[in-house]
A and B are shown apart, each in its own frame.
Chain A
């Protein structure tokens, strides 16, 4: 800039320089009196020095540059002058480089305001240097160089690696669905294929939880001897044989009768005994209880007193024994003992003659124990197929599925299924002791429900 300005100044000092505007300040110079001023302060320099001439000159240069694109003095003659040969032909007129938009076949004239606002200076706008500058350019350049270097080696920087890892994988289905246990498209494999034995130390594997804990053999035993599927009795056929159907009906009937009996028994036991009901007389007696003195009471008291006396005497007697009595007692005990020993002795001697009967009795005992053993074993076997008591509730077999003779369908098409297989399976599991019998939890309302009539309703009624 500075160089430019200097050049301009030099140009203006040259004798051939023509100013665009004539300077009017020259004649005023002579008229005004020269001021006396201190020039030793910079402040005064700016204040009082007349720089109009320089300003005008610079303004003039700017004006020239703006309008013609350079100093007129530096222009060639050809660019400044031309030979005037009448008005120029229309065809030669310069066409604006901007394509003219057409509207309804007519060219659209630009708006006047746009024309006013158009940039008409021929001086190019100064470059914004800052917009070309990069902050940290040097550092960035070094980083780029390093990255290039690493890339040549084939090393991916950590940050980029992270980004690469973050790149979303094209997922069609969510993981939860494909991994789910009940995914209908899940695939199976040969789970019972012979495994390849790992060479690692089993102790290490167990301690690091890499190998599973062995399942105890005992757990593989079934808790009941019943089969998984119990086939219904032949009477349960959709088109049963007469007798088997009757047998099944009989069975169902027996079950019902048993139930009815139990119910009846309960009702009987809960019934109020008429003898225990209060009659008028008992009510009256209860009301006057303790108000009327009875003679019986006095008698009772007397009898009680007499009894007391007797008891007291007995205690007194028991407390004291005479020496004689003691001796007598001791002798009696000894006598009894010897008698007992004698008896045993004779019994043993007599047993010698009872050998045969003893033998038979022993045999009898043994036979009995054997029978009992067999019985016990049979009971144990039967127990295995019996439902056990596993919780609060006892197992209750479901109702027998039965169709009465008139419900039986003549053909497969008209068959009406009886009972529910779901319930059958559920009960079967309870029967086999796989799950404990439970009752559906009852719904218990914690907070009271408040009923309120709506006003609209109340108004009507």
Chain B
């Protein structure tokens, strides 16, 4: 007994937290300023585990911050700048009220400003850290750069965002690091691999904005403020890693080519350089004159067997990537005016193609439509008046699908007026046993170098489908054992509504196949291993197998459904044709 009485809520988790309002008062900032500071410094609200304890017995919903975080904020020099800004606004208001316009002028000239460089350095101590967080920055900058200059945010911010995004795109082109692209109803998703980091970003369509009212523009602008600074520094570093000049300069040769056009009527002098850069049609100037790139060979190390496979896989992957980088090299494109110029020019240039457009569409077109060496013309309208014989007229989706498939797809499916095959998302990765849409199977077959048979009649198509299924089957065969295989076959056949084939046929001479023998041996080994399993493990194994089977079953169901759908479509078409 004795001693002072313990007071409630003075020790324990309460001491770790602080409410938002208290934090705000501690920093003597207004709420918007506080919010801004937290965003810039990367300090986020925290949900305590025991809310009632932290909230001193009350259960009212509150925003909490960690006390240590707020204490850290006290050291931030920008806090002082915020206070200065507050005073500045007050003085300005007063000067306006008194109609002292010379004072207004003077005050405006001495408007307090701040830089976020130190914050970027603090939050991202190394370049890789920054690169990991650049997704967000890219999304925001691309978004803001498409805003109309109507006062929703500062025009300067929009211009800066545009500049930074153009720089980024030019970098991606120069480094050929684009991997995937997906046209969705929301916008276009891109994925690039920069210094081993996969970076995904979303670019909205041009002119697609209706400004939603439930979005806090101030918060978004604050994020953008930070992200523009971050992206600028990242761009600088990336350009220097490629030996490119920063801020980017057009190649001297290209510049002289572009000069002779009368570009005054296109853009103001101050803007024309950025516009030329954003045309994405020419390469950039390097710091040192480029020597021929020597292919960096992977160093070979003597490795053990397990690593060998990995090494081989890696090498194969790298080769594939190299091939993808040069995907469109040697192709010459011309974009019709109804085609979205920027994404297509970006894509084509990313994979080494040459691209141009009508002179009136945008600055920086390099050749005209009459050029005889054009191989592909990208058109997005039902028909074209004047056609050249020696070029393909394709729809824009071809370029996107080629990029995702990593091969130059046959152009027949993408000709003018042809119903396009579906645009599949490259971000979906199917595990074995999942349902794979037939279009993807086709592409996979093409990737393997097989040539698909052209389907003309329905019967043939049916056979084809079966073949495809068999292919699928084969893939699964490799991994699964024969018993299950049989089971699955039976299942499939049942799903297709066929009877089991019970027939007596003439015997054939069996040819000994060493490969087959080997396979059988392997299968035998596997079966023995299963038999030797402990009960518990066996149970687990069975469960896994059951799950796999179920997946296969579902996939089969989907394929059957798809077939039915296709058939229905076909029949509909036929009836239409007959009419």
Contacts and interface: CB of A to CB of B under 8 A. Distances in A.
Interface of A: 174-176, 179-184, 186-192, 212-213, 215-216, 219-220, 223, 227-229, 231-234, 236-244, 388-392, 401, 403, 410-413, 415-426, 429, 433-436, 438-440
Interface in B108-128: 108-111, 113-118, 120-123, 126-127
A424 B200 CA distance: 15
Interface string B410-432: 00000000011011110110000
Contact of A229 (B45, B189, B338): B189
Contacts of B97: none
B69 interface: yes
A215 B229 contact: no
Nearest to B61: A392
10 A-B pairs with least C-beta separation: A234-B425, A176-B111, A184-B159, A228-B135, A421-B204, A174-B109, A417-B208, A418-B185, A388-B47, A188-B232
B62 interface: yes
Given A183-B156, A417-B185, A422 B220 contact: yes
Contacts of A190: 233, 236-237, 240
B382 to A, nearest CB: 9
Contacts of B93: none
Contact of A176 (B108, B123, B185, B427): B108
B189 A438 contact: no
Interface residues of B, number: 103
A415 B396 CA distance: 13
- Listed residue (A216, A242, A421) with the most chain B CB atoms within 10 angstroms of its CB: A421
Contact of B209 (A187, A240, A422, A429): A422
Nearest to B205: A417
Given A403-B185, A422-B204, 6 more contacts: A176-B113, A220-B123, A239-B183, A239-B397, A421-B187, A426-B215
Given A184-B156, A411-B380, A236 B186 contact: yes
A417 B233 CA distance: 32
B68 interface: yes
Contacts of B330: none
B563 to A, nearest CB: 12
B423 A239 contact: yes
Given A229-B201, A234-B424, A244-B425, A391 B45 contact: yes
B185 A415 contact: yes
A433 B422 CA distance: 36
Interface stretch (B136-144, B260-268, B487-495): B136-144
20 contacts: A176-B109, A179-B113, A181-B113, A182-B157, A190-B233, A227-B200, A231-B184, A232-B425, A238-B423, A390-B45, A390-B63, A392-B61, A403-B185, A411-B380, A411-B420, A417-B186, A420-B210, A420-B211, A422-B215, A440-B214
Contacts of B247: 187
B475 interface: no
Contact of A240 (B42, B216, B422): B422
B223 interface: yes
Contacts of B136: 228-229
Contacts of B420: 239, 410-411
Nearest to B213: A440
B272 to A, nearest CB: 14
A433 B45 contact: yes
A177 to B, nearest CB: 8
- Listed residue (B42, B184, B201) with the most chain A CB atoms within 10 angstroms of its CB: B184
A436 B43 CA distance: 12
B236 A424 contact: no
Nearest to A229: B200
A63 B183 CA distance: 114
Contacts of A425: 139-140, 143, 220
Nearest to B240: A190
B427 to A, nearest CB: 4
A229 B135 contact: yes
A372 to B, nearest CB: 19
A404 B215 CA distance: 26
B212 A401 contact: no
B550 interface: no
Given A421-B202, A425-B140, A426-B215, A231 B220 contact: no
Interface in B39-55: 39, 42-47
A231 B189 contact: yes
Contact of A192 (B135, B201, B220, B237): B237
B340 A412 contact: yes
Contacts of A244: 425, 437
- Listed residue (A187, A223, A239) with the most chain B CB atoms within 10 angstroms of its CB: A239
B185 A401 contact: yes
Nearest to A440: B214
B200 A231 contact: yes
A220 B229 CA distance: 18
Nearest to B203: A421
Contact of A189 (B182, B236, B339): B236
B259 interface: no
A191 B120 contact: yes
B565 interface: yes
A213 B72 contact: yes
B395 interface: yes
Nearest to A231: B427
B380 A413 contact: yes
A223 B223 CA distance: 16
- Listed residue (B72, B117, B135, B185) with the most chain A CB atoms within 10 angstroms of its CB: B185
B347 to A, nearest CB: 13
A240 B233 CA distance: 38
A175 B110 CA distance: 7
A181 B214 contact: no
A197 to B, nearest CB: 15
A176 B112 CA distance: 7
B75 A424 contact: no
B394 to A, nearest CB: 12
A186 B120 CA distance: 16
A192 B185 contact: no
A433 B187 CA distance: 24
A188 B235 contact: yes
A180 B156 contact: yes
B92 to A, nearest CB: 12
Contact of B186 (A219, A391, A421): A421
Interface in B160-189: 160, 163, 182-187, 189
B340 A401 contact: no
Nearest to A233: B425
A212 B228 CA distance: 23
A237 B425 contact: yes
Nearest to B223: A429
B562 interface: yes
B449 to A, nearest CB: 24
B108 A174 contact: yes
B220 A426 contact: yes
Nearest to B380: A413
B558 interface: yes
A442 B160 CA distance: 33
B565 A420 contact: no
B79 to A, nearest CB: 13
Given A191-B117, A232-B189, A421-B202, A413 B135 contact: no
Contact of A435 (B39, B204, B205, B427): B39
Contact of A423 (B120, B163, B215): B215
Given A179-B113, A190-B237, A435-B39, A426 B186 contact: no
A264 to B, nearest CB: 25
Interface string B315-339: 0000000000000000000000011
Given A216-B72, A420-B212, A423-B212, A192 B189 contact: no
A168 to B, nearest CB: 12
Given A189-B236, A237-B425, A426-B216, A436 B63 contact: yes
Contacts of B380: 411-413
